[in-house]
């Protein structure tokens, strides 16, 4: 969870300093953010494949399977990174142009977008290397590395944005450059510690030919999770087009509001990674009693987290927004409504993310993915119905309604998978048999 907070803080720090420049600067980062989100979603293909496949291999004590899954995961990751970077850089004007932004805002967005895209190589490599740590239950090392890179980003942001000392004033390009430099250091630290501690990803010969079966395993585990996140991001792109019709204030509110809200969903994601490693290892070891205990304790954790997030966002909506845009009372008012409406769904959101982590750990990635894809897409018709009645708030309401439904549906799936037949152990034996047939 600490690592999730650190990752969230990257964007928050950028927005905090850029908010002192202008609302346009915040809107530019918010617009680019959706495409960075898509990139991060694509890293989940290899990241999930490595973490889940490796955790299960550790549980089975199968070293050969562990090496195959890591090699194939890194190969898939490299291909995805190169392909996405090329697409973004070649079609950058078309991608940002579809928003029909004001000329000044559009240029600011492209400037930020290009620099951040160049840094994808470090985002992708970090995602793959960190997955190896999470797979064996080591979340301390990723947290420490992320904390160091965050501190570097915090130091560099004001220096490069405002041109402190001998450094030139780069404004929004400075924010992007600070983030990329921090990501470079992040990746180098993972590489250094990997060599120092002889981590599995530095002990593998990557020049070996592609193993089709292992690549299929990585794709089978990772693609549903990635598609889920990509669709979520694409829906966000579409909703941002609706938001853009309300001007830069609407875009800025969404950019900042979603980052504040990420206090809750990034925390839930942090626990979901822990659940995924825990369930993956014990699933591989066939320790059903420990899985049952983990299931109960995990649910307690995410329910408490969801209730806390609801109270925080609802009762402290204005003070939270004033931190980022202290001199724009209109944006603060709109932002306060955003947080209050989203707060209604926080408990359901935490449940959805937490249960998804549990199911992913056992390789059952398609069930939560289908749930998320269908109900995230539903945000678009929900928004069309609610915008004529509630204007901008109708978009926030569509997002909140979708999250509530996702939480309810995942609980139904959860009960079906683990409680419908003769008990937890019988269900697990059934899915173990199916999974082994696929493997």
Tens-place pLDDT, residues 407-434: 999 988 888 876 653 344 555 555 545 5
Is the pLDDT assigned to residue 110 strictly greater than 90? yes
Of 20 and 195, the structure prediction assigns the larger pLDDT to 195
pLDDT at 62 (0 to 100)? 84
Report which of 275, 234, 256, 257 is spatially closest to residue 357, judged by C-alpha positions: 275
Asked if residue 13 lies in contact with residue 153, where contact means CB atoms within 8 angstroms, the answer is yes
pLDDT at 421 (0 to 100)? 38
Phi, psi of 421 (to 5 degrees): -90, -135
Asked if residue 410 lies in contact with residue 355, where contact means CB atoms within 8 angstroms, the answer is yes
Q: Residue 91 has which token pair?
A: 């079609």
Of 16 and 384, the structure prediction assigns the larger pLDDT to 384
| Domain ranges across the chain | 2-438
Asked if residue 1 lies in contact with residue 267, where contact means CB atoms within 8 angstroms, the answer is yes
Neighbours of 57 (CB within 10 A): 23
In which band, very low, low, confident or very high, does the pLDDT at 10 lie, cut at 50, 70 and 90? Answer: low
Q: For the segment 36-48, what is each residue's pLDDT rounded down to a tens digit?
A: 888 988 998 998 8
Asked if residue 78 lies in contact with residue 125, where contact means CB atoms within 8 angstroms, the answer is no
Q: Residue 428 has which token pair?
A: 């697990």
State the DSSP code for 420.
Answer: S
pLDDT at 419 (0 to 100)? 63
Q: Residue 297 has which token pair?
A: 């304790």
Is the pLDDT assigned to residue 107 strictly greater than 80? yes
Report the alpha-carbon distance of residue 192 to residue 145 in Å, rounded. 11
Report which of 438, 436, 439, 435 is spatially closest to residue 360, judged by C-alpha positions: 435
Of 422 and 368, the structure prediction assigns the larger pLDDT to 368
**Which residue in the block uniquely carries the two structure tokens 């130091």?**
155
pLDDT at 424 (0 to 100)? 47
C-alpha separations of 234 from 63, 230, 266 in Å: 38, 6, 19
Alpha-helix runs per DSSP H in 210-247: 212-244
Segment among 87-101, 270-284, 342-356, 413-427 with least mean pLDDT: 413-427
pLDDT at 307 (0 to 100)? 93
Q: pTM of the full predicted structure?
A: 0.72
Report the alpha-carbon distance of residue 354 to residue 410 in Å, rounded. 10
Q: Which residues contact 384 (CB under 8 A, 6 or more apart)?
A: none
Q: For the segment 294-332, what is each residue's pLDDT rounded down to a tens digit?
A: 888 888 998 999 999 999 999 998 888 888 777 778 888
Is the pLDDT assigned to residue 271 strictly greater than 80? yes
b (16+ CB within 10 A) / e for 231-266 = bbbbbbbebbebbbebebbbbbbbbbbbbbbbbbbb
Report the alpha-carbon distance of residue 407 to residue 71 in Å, rounded. 35
Neighbours of 374 (CB within 10 A): 14
Q: For the segment 119-128, what is each residue's pLDDT rounded down to a tens digit?
A: 999 999 999 9
**Which residue in the block uniquely carries the two structure tokens 């549990």?**
358
Asked if residue 255 lies in contact with residue 328, where contact means CB atoms within 8 angstroms, the answer is no
The three-state (H, E, C) secondary structure of 245-297, written as one string: CCCHHHHHHHHHHHHHHHHHHHHHHHHHHHHHHHHHHHHHHCCHHHHHHHHHH
The C-alpha R_g of the chain, in whole angstroms, comes to 21
DSSP readout, 351-414? HHHHHHHHHHHTT--HHHHHHHHHHHHTHHHHHHHHHHHHTHHHHHHHHHHHHHHHHHHHHHHH
Q: What is the mean pLDDT of residues 181-188?
A: 94
Is the pLDDT assigned to residue 221 strictly greater than 90? no
Report which of 42, 190, 54 is spatially closest to residue 122, judged by C-alpha positions: 190
Report the alpha-carbon distance of residue 278 to residue 265 in Å, rounded. 20
């Amino acid at each position: 969870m600490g690592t999730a907070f650190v990752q969230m803080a990257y964007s928050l720090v950028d927005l905090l300093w850029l908010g002192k420049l202008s609302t346009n600067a915040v809107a530019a980062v918010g617009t680019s953010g959706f495409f960075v989100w898509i990139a991060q979603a694509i890293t989940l293909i290899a990241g999930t494949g490595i973490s889940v496949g490796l955790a299960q291999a550790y549980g089975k004590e199968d070293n050969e399977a562990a090496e195959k899954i890591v090699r194939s995961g890194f190969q898939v990751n490299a291909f995805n990174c190169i392909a996405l970077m090329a697409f973004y850089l070649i079609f950058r004007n078309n991608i940002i142009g579809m928003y029909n932004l004001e000329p000044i805002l559009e240029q600011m967005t492209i400037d930020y977008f290009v620099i951040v895209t160049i840094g994808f190589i470090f985002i992708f490599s970090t995602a793959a290397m960190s997955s190896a740590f999470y797979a064996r239950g080591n979340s301390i090392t990723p947290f420490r590395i992320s904390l160091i890179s965050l501190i570097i980003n915090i130091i560099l942001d004001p220096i490069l944005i405002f041109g402190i000392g001998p450094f030139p004033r780069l404004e929004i390009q400075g924010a992007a450059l600070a983030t990329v430099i921090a990501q470079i250091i992040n990746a180098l630290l993972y590489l250094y510690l990997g060599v120092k501690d002889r981590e599995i990803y530095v002990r593998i010969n990557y020049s070996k030919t592609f193993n089709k079966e292992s690549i299929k395993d990585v794709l089978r585990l990772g693609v549903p999770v990635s598609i889920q996140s990509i669709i979520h991001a694409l829906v966000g792109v579409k909703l941002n087009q609706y938001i853009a019709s309300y001007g830069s204030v609407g875009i800025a509110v969404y950019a900042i509001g979603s980052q504040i809200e990420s206090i809750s969903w990034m925390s839930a994601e942090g626990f979901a990674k822990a659940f995924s490693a825990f369930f993956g290892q014990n699933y591989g070891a066939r320790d059903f009693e420990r899985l049952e205990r983990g299931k109960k304790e995990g649910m307690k954790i995410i329910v408490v987290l969801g209730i806390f997030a609801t109270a925080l966002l609802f009762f402290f909506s204005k003070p939270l927004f004033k931190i980022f845009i202290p001199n724009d009372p209109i944006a603060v008012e709109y932002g306060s409504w955003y947080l209050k409406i989203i707060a209604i769904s926080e408990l359901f959101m935490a449940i959805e993310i937490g249960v998804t982590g549990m199911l992913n750990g056992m390789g059952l990635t398609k069930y939560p993915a289908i749930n998320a894809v269908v109900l995230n897409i539903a945000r678009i018709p929900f928004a069309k119905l609610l915008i004529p009645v509630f204007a901008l708030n109708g978009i926030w309401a569509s997002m909140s309604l979708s999250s509530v439904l996702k939480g309810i549906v995942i609980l139904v799936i959860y009960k079906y998978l683990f409680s419908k037949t003769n008990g937890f152990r019988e269900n697990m034996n059934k899915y173990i048999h199916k999974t082994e047939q696929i493997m």
